[in-house]
Structure 1
Amino acid sequence: MLTRGMPVTTRKPIEKVHFITTPHGLEFGRVDAAIYSTPPAAFLWLSAHLESKGIECRIQDAYTKMLDLETILKDIEDFQPDVVGLSVFTIVWYDNAYLAAKIKERFPEVLLVMGGYHVNHSYEEVLQCEAVDYCLPLEGETSLAELIECLNAGDDPQKVKGLAWRENGNLVATEPRPPLHDIMTLPRFPYHKLMDHRYVPWCFSHSPKDRFMATITSRGCPNQCVFCDIGRTEGRRFRHFTAQRVADEMEYLHTEFGVNQIEFLDALFTTNNKRVIELCGILKERGLELEWACASAIRFTDNQEMLDAMAETGCKKIFYGVESGNPAILKRVKKLTTDQVRKVIGMTKKAGILSHAAYIFGLPGDTPDTMEDTLAFAKSLNTDTASFSMAIPFKGTELYDLYKDKLISTDYREYQRSAVFKVDEYEPEYLEKMLIKAHKQYYLRIRYILSRLGKIKSWHDLWIHVRIGLGFLLGKIRYKMGSHKED
């Protein structure tokens, strides 16, 4: 039961906020390699809003740069922030808790706030970490800005929606923050804060002369996927930047920073087909020579006119969540049919755009036979790249509601490498074996290897492919040897 109480206060006005991504493996005194890197675009949202209010922000992507603990702490010492913000995903919660404790130990006067997926659904657990002062569940831009304004004025944070904190052993939670209705009110993102690192994308052929950046242009998801929480946390209404603003952001990245490759991190970029077609028209009119990629759902990409326009203006790859190759499983997890998947993948290929298909083993109703159907379907679909993963019942998803009584582990470290639930149809170890089998059978086909070699444009690009493959194999070896646990 959450009870109300007086909040944590600060000793001096808050003027500077330091956002940090957390390296994996930090809790065990190591820094795991980032196989490929994606700019932390969520921190761009937060920084843009705070800096419009006069708060200076720094973003330190310690995960991608593989910074060790002392380097992170030295960076905090140099910047001297009043607030440190961490974004937490469930599988790396323990690394974040460790980093938070070390930050608080070294800088006890710094206010430490956390947001992100894990906070959205487990802030009670997060606040058991004594180093954490405030949690910001759901969309945090307005909540964090109002919290800072409130503390600077010496006012009561209980007036601020979307906060949780600890007081005298009790948890305090204010009214949930509703989704930001008009995201067009957000200022331009401060991309310069991430330009000190040359990011390497997974979605493009990439050479040292290329410059890559990622951004987000929308929130909300009308889909109802059982394994995802976006519709529950961001709402099912698709809120988006206009085509004009998206084009302006792309042109700004290109002219100011020399960026020629852009990945849109939107959950479903093509939800509004009209917006995408309008965007492509603007890009064509401006003559921008850019490569870009996005993610979407099969149901929102069944439009050859749109796909052709995307290809003409530089779209190189689309990430599709296919999930299963068995018709009954697709229906059960609220996806389209295999025929509809084949149609849209065929349309994507016709437009000249590469496609990536993601599949999940262990969905509700899955059996060894249905998972074999998925692997066979994946190979027959033959998308340019594919990924296979085990179903993970994260809190906040329908999948968690279905599997919470079947969990065999609540250790989040296990979630990425092991099956953490047990059903009658198969043993948990079967999912792990199926995962390895699927990647081997998909990527070690002679037909596939020859087709990929023809699309690699540099030794640097070849090394990226090798590194990703080795990362997967070494990750499995590390897990089997038990190095995911403390020595």
Structure 2
Amino acid sequence: MIGERTLLVNPPLVGGIAFTRQGRCQEREEVLGTTKPPLTLALLASLLRERGHAVRLADLTATRQEIDDLIRALDAEGFLPTLILFPSTTPTLAADVAAMACLKARYDAPLFCFGPHASTTPVASMERAAAVDGMFVGEPEDGAVALAALGSLDELGSIASLTYRRGGDIIPHRAHGSFGGFLTAPMPAWDLLDLTRYRLPLVGRPYLIVETSRGCPYTCDFCVAPLHQGYKFRERSATALVDEMERVVREHGVKFFYLWGDTVTLNVKSFSAICEELIARRLDVRWFGNARADNLQDPAFVDRLKRSGCWMLALGIETESDQTRKDMMKRLESLKIRKALQNMRASGIKSFGFFIFGYPGETPAALERTTSYAIELDPDFANFYPAVPYPGTELYAKAKRDGLLVSEDWTRMEYSYYVMEGNGLNEQVVMEAINRAKRRFFLRPGYIARHAGDLAKLATSKWGVAWHIGSRMLLGAKVVDAVK
């Protein structure tokens, strides 16, 4: 079998910078104060072990190791991989492939990739990644399991979700991958990782991801989530989810969880069942996740979230303008945003608001209005991002069509840069507006007084991250390019 000895690798830092490569997320550590645990790699490890494959899992970003360190460890153990799998993203693809090519050369093992970028632009990515033998489009689990069971690379055509090389040609995928076993998936193989490496800012405690759902029925034009996992919403049962959390507490001693889904609270009825299960079992856990404001209109539901251990919810607010949200295909009204924040405050759940700067059609004045709106809403935490036209999204198509895109450099398609220009906006204008927004939001005397404890915890638990954020916000420090 190709996957007799499978090596799963989260690639190393890129130019000294840590990136998350998990699901749709492809941001620097400084954006959220953490790099997320590699859930997909851990799940793949569990699925492959169930089928008798020998598996090794290395998170080189978390351990701050290089490829040479991994090679020495594998050689010392005598583990010679016959298959190598790794996740990648739009901004890290070039660096990730360069690093992983060293493993391929060392062990003469085929190399395959998955992730949001592979899902949106597989052929173009393969053209730029000569060392990669194939890329999974969509969810990689079923395809990776099938790949590992093949007798030879001559059988790659049997995997419909794979874009792969045959001779000098790139053969496109025939179908979008969807994990058929998601609802009954085994617990990820967290035992293969050093879990002390994954710590939450503010609390400094280890945390893990538990996946609640996949797919997003919404059509926000800037988001890669439905391009990677589809639009069909699929959710696991309350019993399965809480069983997994209970097992993590028992076996690993972890009590903080990221309930992972693009909108975990989408189905109020089924998520209420999860809450009731958590309350009944008295696990003494804390959790956070992503939500939409229009799912948080019922005070009783929000209170139930709190009683089940909800610590914080992140909301994509994006802009002060209802019209701009409509242009983004984000169907969300201002009144519902205000009501959601009101309900969260009443229940004692921390709020984290996300705001996008520089969406096509906005002006410099619009960015200032969004900053004022964020201050008026006053979530517990906020982050301000430039609009990023990720390849494959409708925003990318719009930027190309309207002549707004000024760079096709994938390494700059992340939250540290702005790659569009028009209507008085360019990279300098937008990034300066973002730093100004952070100063106006976080340096308010009232905010500092209310959140002095949280700010102190961030500084002590994630000093390096806090310094990066503070130096850019206060001193205008230059972005460090993530280029090796």
In the superposition, the TM-score normalised over structure 2's length comes to 0.89
Could you tell me how far 1:245 is from its partner in structure 2? Answer: 0.7
> Is structure 2 residue 465 aligned with structure 1 residue 468?
yes
CA distance in 2, matches of 1:290, 1:60: 27
User: 2:224: which partner in 1?
Assistant: 229
> Is structure 2 residue 437 aligned with structure 1 residue 441?
no
Alignment match of 1:20 (pick from 3, 6, 9): 9
CA distance in 2, matches of 1:406, 1:283: 48
Could you tell me how far 1:460 is from its partner in structure 2? Answer: 5.8
Alpha carbons of structure 1 residues 277 and 485: separation in structure 2 relative to 1, 3 Å? closer
For residues 35-434 of structure 1, the aligned pairs below 5 Å read: 35=30, 36-77=34-75, 78=77, 79-107=79-107, 109-128=108-127, 129-151=129-151, 156-181=155-180, 183-202=182-201, 205-207=202-204, 210-333=205-328, 334-404=330-400, 405-416=403-414, 417-434=416-433
Could you tell me how far 1:261 is from its partner in structure 2? Answer: 0.8
Could you tell me how far 1:409 is from its partner in structure 2? Answer: 1.1
CA distance in 1, matches of 2:475, 2:342: 38
CA distance in 2, matches of 1:443, 1:478: 14
CA distance in 2, matches of 1:76, 1:176: 35
CA distance in 1, matches of 2:346, 2:457: 28
CA distance in 2, matches of 1:24, 1:211: 20
CA distance in 2, matches of 1:270, 1:122: 30
Alpha carbons of structure 1 residues 234 and 485: separation in structure 2 relative to 1, 3 Å? closer
Letter in 2 for 1:192: D
Which deviates the most, 174-183 or 250-259? Answer: 174-183
The RMSD of aligned alpha carbons is 2.4
CA distance in 2, matches of 1:110, 1:408: 38
CA distance in 1, matches of 2:176, 2:8: 21
CA distance in 2, matches of 1:280, 1:257: 22
SS of the aligned residue for 2:283 comes to coil
Which deviates the most, 460-469 or 231-240? Answer: 460-469
Alpha carbons of structure 1 residues 86 and 31: separation in structure 2 relative to 1, 3 Å? same
In the superposition, the TM-score normalised over structure 1's length comes to 0.89
**Structure 1 regions of 5+ residues with no counterpart?**
1-11
Alpha carbons of structure 1 residues 449 and 468: separation in structure 2 relative to 1, 3 Å? farther
Letter in 1 for 2:9: I
CA distance in 2, matches of 1:151, 1:438: 56
Could you tell me how far 1:450 is from its partner in structure 2? Answer: 1.5
Contact residue 31 and residue 66 of structure 1 kept, 8 A: no
CA distance in 2, matches of 1:19, 1:122: 22
User: 1:6: which partner in 2?
Assistant: none
CA distance in 2, matches of 1:160, 1:85: 15
Contact residue 296 and residue 318 of structure 1 kept, 8 A: yes
SS of the aligned residue for 2:254 comes to coil
CA distance in 2, matches of 1:265, 1:482: 29
Could you tell me how far 1:114 is from its partner in structure 2? Answer: 0.4
Contact residue 52 and residue 187 of structure 1 kept, 8 A: no
Identity of aligned residues (%): 23
What CA deviation, in whole Å up to 9, does each residue of 1:115-141 have, x standing for no partner? Answer: 101111222233232211121111111
CA distance in 2, matches of 1:431, 1:362: 6
SS of the aligned residue for 2:305 comes to helix
SS of the aligned residue for 1:85 comes to strand
User: 1:7: which partner in 2?
Assistant: none
CA distance in 1, matches of 2:178, 2:476: 39
Could you tell me how far 1:45 is from its partner in structure 2? Answer: 2.5
Alpha carbons of structure 1 residues 112 and 287: separation in structure 2 relative to 1, 3 Å? same
Alpha carbons of structure 1 residues 98 and 474: separation in structure 2 relative to 1, 3 Å? farther
Could you tell me how far 1:292 is from its partner in structure 2? Answer: 0.7
Alpha carbons of structure 1 residues 259 and 470: separation in structure 2 relative to 1, 3 Å? same
SS of the aligned residue for 1:91 comes to coil
Which deviates the most, 275-284 or 312-321? Answer: 275-284
CA distance in 1, matches of 2:344, 2:483: 46
User: How many aligned residue pairs are there?
Assistant: 465
Could you tell me how far 1:213 is from its partner in structure 2? Answer: 1.5
Could you tell me how far 1:311 is from its partner in structure 2? Answer: 0.5
Letter in 1 for 2:218: N
